[in-house]
Structure 1
């Protein structure tokens, strides 16, 4: 009787003993699966984090690529725009040679030989021819007043105008003075003083141009006006009190010519001294 209970009691015990390893095996299986998950990607959360990192890196790379493409396209467009601007500027510069200011300067140059021909026609003493010569001279002087104003006001300044305008001014004035002295209406010394002053001022401007530009003064403009009126009065065949009046107008023109010429010399000396002083100071600063 005692052995049966013992065996019966041992049966369940053995059954429990057999079942216990199975529970441990499940726990170890779960543990090993978690270990594999941890080894593979440190768990589901770690897998999601790594995926998010990869997506962020890919997004940044794609953004950088788009920015690079946009930058390259922008540089290409800016290059095309710069080329278009250069072509437009070149076209404007080429067309600007034929602007109204330069056309007036060309007209003044063309009038010079016509004026000389009219002035010397029929011996140079015919009042009718002299009147026509005066008309040509007046047109030339009027265009001289307008072409510079138009060029500065409407931004029509060109290299051609800078060279041709002073040449046209001196050409028409010089032609009139020489013709008048040739005909005996005006003393040669007056012609020499006026033309000598104009040539001297032009030479002085070229000598000091590396230091700066001497601007036209009010006295210089008055000189030009006085010369134009005086020479115009001498071109016409005037008599009586008008012939006397033109003498005094020419005297005023000669005085203004000399005074303004001396003022240009003074300005040139001052400008040269200032330029030399500035260069010396700049060289001392560079050496220090």
Structure 2
């Protein structure tokens, strides 16, 4: 019997904890305090650096998920830390922007409540069913990243005031759209969870 046959008979080899997908997730977590420190320096150069760090960290979110699925590197550690890394990055940016007067607090509060609430709901539902991210959820994430980057960049250091005002107006419109999509997709998750719970309840009643 060949080594390959023996390995196949023993089943698939376990996924290593420190695979490329999990390493990217940990890099994103490490970049969060780096982003915060750069933002708090409150200079044009540091704001640009903060925006670059945020963009890099946001890019690793898409990349680590793609690598994990394509290479079969999904682990329980990744399932736990990936959403934590995502929420830490976005929430820290929202709070800093609101504290700096660049983003209304109501928008930050609505997004944070939705993000934490749905994350908790997905953890509670994990034993019943896996609630994968919907297209609306992915759109929500893209819109959030776009307006955060638009507000992070110190446009006034490079562009005329009229152009800056136009950019900030567009950013505010994206904020409104992002908040709307955030709320709608959050409600959609709740409705799906209720349907799953009710459906499983009917199945148990039927079996009884």
TM over 0.5: yes
Question: Who is 1:135 aligned against?
Answer: 52
With CA pairs under 8 Å and 6+ residues apart, which has the higher RCO, 1 or 2?
2
- Aligned residue runs from structure 1 range 1-288, under 5 A: 85=10, 89=13, 92-93=14-15, 96-121=16-41, 124=42, 126-238=43-155, 239-282=164-207, 284=208
Shift of 1:205: 1.6
Where structure 2 has 5 or more consecutive residues not aligned to the other structure, the ranges are 1-5, 156-163
Find the aligned partners of 1:280 and 1:207 in 2 and give their Cα distance: 22
Find the aligned partners of 1:135 and 1:166 in 2 and give their Cα distance: 21
Where structure 1 has 5 or more consecutive residues not aligned to the other structure, the ranges are 1-80
Which structure has greater helix proportion? 1
- TM-score by structure 1 length? 0.64
Find the aligned partners of 1:145 and 1:207 in 2 and give their Cα distance: 24
1:207-261 superposed Cα distances (whole Å, 9 cap, x missing partner): 3333212221100000000001011111112323112111111111111101101
Question: Who is 2:158 aligned against?
Answer: none
Q: CA RMSD in A?
A: 1.7
1:75-96 superposed Cα distances (whole Å, 9 cap, x missing partner): xxxxxx69x938x83xx44xx2
Q: Between Structure 1 and Structure 2, whose CA radius of gyration is higher?
A: 1
Find the aligned partners of 1:143 and 1:154 in 2 and give their Cα distance: 16
1:94-140 superposed Cα distances (whole Å, 9 cap, x missing partner): xx21111111101100000000000001xx2x221110000000001
Q: How many residues align?
A: 194
Find the aligned partners of 2:176 and 2:153 in 1 and give their Cα distance: 17
The ranges of structure 1 where at least 4 consecutive aligned residues each deviate by more than 6 angstroms after the TM superposition are none
